[in-house]
Amino acid sequence: MLLAVAILLFSFLLRVPTADQAVLGVMERLSFDLQMKFLRKVLPRPADVEPILIGIDESAEDSFDEPIAMWHKHFAKLLDALVVAKPALVGMDVQLPSRSFDHILPGLDYSFLSSLARIKQNVPFVVVHTFDRTGKVMPIHDTFHRVLDDEAFAFDKVLEDGDRYARRFNEIETVGVGSLATFSGHIARLLGKKVEAGYIDFSIGDVFNYVPIQEVIALHTDGNRAELQRRFAGRVVLIGSVVGAQDRWNLPVALSEWERNAKGELQTNQPGVVVHLQTLRSLLGGGLLVPIPDALKWLICAALLSFVFVPSNFHTYRFAFLFAPILFFAVSVILITVKILIPAVTFLILLWIAVMVGAIADGTRTLLEKNRLKQSFSGSVSPAVLQEIMSGNLAGGVSAKTAEVCVMFSDIRGFTGLSESLPPETVTNLLTRYFDRMVACVHRYDGTMDKFMGDGMMVFFGMPRHMENTCVNAVKCAIDMVNELTSLNEEFSAEGLPPLKIGIGINYGKVVVGNIGSTERHNYSAIGDAVNVASRVEGLTKRLGKPIVFTDSVKIQLGTEFEMFDLGEQPIRGHSPMRLWGVGNSVAIAALPAAVEQD
């Protein structure tokens, strides 16, 4: 069930609301971008192959008189310059004319066509098929198409993720099967590289700059053959526009030196030719970033899911929420440098899901167990003791410690004769009702029920729950018990039952308190001389004619809150004489002494 819950949560994050916009997908993309920026800043690495860009910028448009659609002679000079320069390959990210302009300027097409034929004969050459805003391939004039044939053409398409960023290279996903290749892919194949799907490595290479087209044309016009070869010989050369609002893409990192905002900061919105340049850095160098095989990925996921069964404790949480993020990030970054990509965020989120599901399950089990313990022991121990057991503060087994507590004994007067005169069922019912009222008083003042002794009770205050003044609580509890008995006796009288009379003895002192007994059977209890004295004082209430009697040690702790009267020094059986006190300021208590004296 735990595995099913974890898998369900994982699937939700993986697929909802859609595969492109799912939480995990979004987080993986953000993680990829963060790692690319981190590597470029912390561990910058050069590209094995560095293509060079000849850029068409605004200054070129200002330099040439014709509109760009009629730059035939300028492109012809550029291509002738590159024939002289002898590059490894020329890629032209510029749409070829869709119509002839010979009717406007005779011979214009011929100059461009002648240069295209020459460069095709001397240098591997690739030119793009571009697309209009509707996604249709823009036409190319038949004459240009016949000069170059299909082998020179490639589609100018870039694969976008759901957030409109370009990170991946996958020709099948981009252009389909059986059609032209992509611009970058076709260039890589012509240079003898194997082209497969993967992620573009944006962590390699410095930011790009470009050589203006008019500068290259000027070198050729001046006959500076040596400079052309120095710059371009053996290099992969791309020709493309570096201005304009069209053919622009969002990238994880800023790669164009010329793309800056008003503050001079590099921008991640880049011209399309820059995407091709970075893709070629990967394809022609160490390769694209390749995700780990699906089988290995799901095996790791299964291992991480097993954390639902790991005990929920501090060590588990520290590993999952402190060490694991650092570990996954570090491993992912290291693997990127060897062209391997892992879904680090997916692994981390899956680990967190497993740990949290396990924690919720453990918490639920603990809560159920505590509820079971509470139901099982609520009638056996006092709430304070039960709370200590459930919170784990009360160790199991026999254990005890010395503490100062206020001990109270109470007893029903003449109960033996009363029980002999009533049926057993009536006696049981009477006792149950009596103890219900008395125990409620004890718990109201945070007392701990030690034990029932026939018709008597032993209670102590101050352990295991600490309180400011244990004796104040004990005396208030005793007064409350006497008042409750008055109310209960009214009920008994209405039912024809005899009234009950009680005596309460209280003493304060050091005791040994804890789990006392044998290793197999023990109770939370208190023992010591202070307990024995409290029991003896309770036995004196009948002779002294007072329902509540306490020792001088209790009186010292009470201060002036109660109306007390001195009962003098009294002999204590098995103990030296002690000074005892009674308490007043209760209407019910004032009415009881006469009844007690009659017993």
Q: For 64-105, how does the pLDDT look when each residue is reduced to its tens digit (9 = 90+)?
A: 888 888 899 999 999 999 999 999 999 999 999 988 887 777
Look up residue 273 and give its two tokens. 């030719």
pLDDT at 381 over 70: no
Segment among 167-181, 214-228, 395-409 with least mean pLDDT: 395-409
Mean pLDDT confidence for 399-408: 86
Mean pLDDT confidence for 132-159: 87
pLDDT band at 410 (very low <50, low <70, confident <90, very high): very high
pLDDT at 39 over 50: yes
pLDDT at 588 over 50: no
Residue 23: what pLDDT? 87
| Domains of the chain with CATH codes | 49-285 (no CATH), 396-598 (3.30.70.1230)
Residues 220, 95: Cα–Cα separation, whole Å: 23
pLDDT band at 413 (very low <50, low <70, confident <90, very high): confident
pLDDT at 205 over 60: yes
pLDDT at 577 over 50: yes
Residue 397: what pLDDT? 52
Mean pLDDT confidence for 420-447: 89
Place of tokens 């740990």: 355
Residue 596: what pLDDT? 38
State the virtual CA torsion across 335, 339, 345, 350 in degrees, nearest 10. -80
CA 534, 538, 540, 541 dihedral sign is positive
The torsion angles phi and psi of 212, rounded to 5 degrees, stand at -60, 140
Residues 303, 150: Cα–Cα separation, whole Å: 50
Mean pLDDT confidence for 114-141: 89
3-state secondary structure of 533: helix
Residue 101: what pLDDT? 82
pLDDT in tens, 514-565: 888 776 666 788 899 999 999 999 999 988 889 999 999 999 888 788 889 8
Between 280 and 180, residue with greater pLDDT? 280
Residues 435, 498: Cα–Cα separation, whole Å: 16
Residues 205, 188: Cα–Cα separation, whole Å: 18
3-state secondary structure of 452: strand
Residue 461: what pLDDT? 92
pLDDT in tens, 145-155: 889 988 899 99
Cβ atoms within 10 A of the Cβ of 1, count?
Answer: 8
Query: Nearest CA to 72 among 43, 30, 39, 101?
Result: 101
Residue 599: what pLDDT? 36
Burial readout 379-392 (b: 16 or more C-beta within 10 A, e: otherwise): eebbbbbbebbbee
Residue 201: what pLDDT? 97
Residues 53, 534: Cα–Cα separation, whole Å: 100
Mean pLDDT confidence for 356-365: 85
pLDDT at 380 over 60: no
3-state secondary structure of 145: helix
pLDDT band at 312 (very low <50, low <70, confident <90, very high): confident
pLDDT at 34 over 80: yes
Residue 237: what pLDDT? 97
pLDDT band at 387 (very low <50, low <70, confident <90, very high): low
What's the whole-number average pLDDT of the chain?
Answer: 87
Residue 391: what pLDDT? 60
pLDDT at 443 over 70: yes
Place of tokens 């589609």: 155
Residue 597: what pLDDT? 37
CA 541, 545, 549, 552 dihedral sign is negative
Segment among 33-47, 65-79, 439-453, 509-523 with least mean pLDDT: 509-523
pLDDT band at 230 (very low <50, low <70, confident <90, very high): very high
Residue 464: what pLDDT? 83
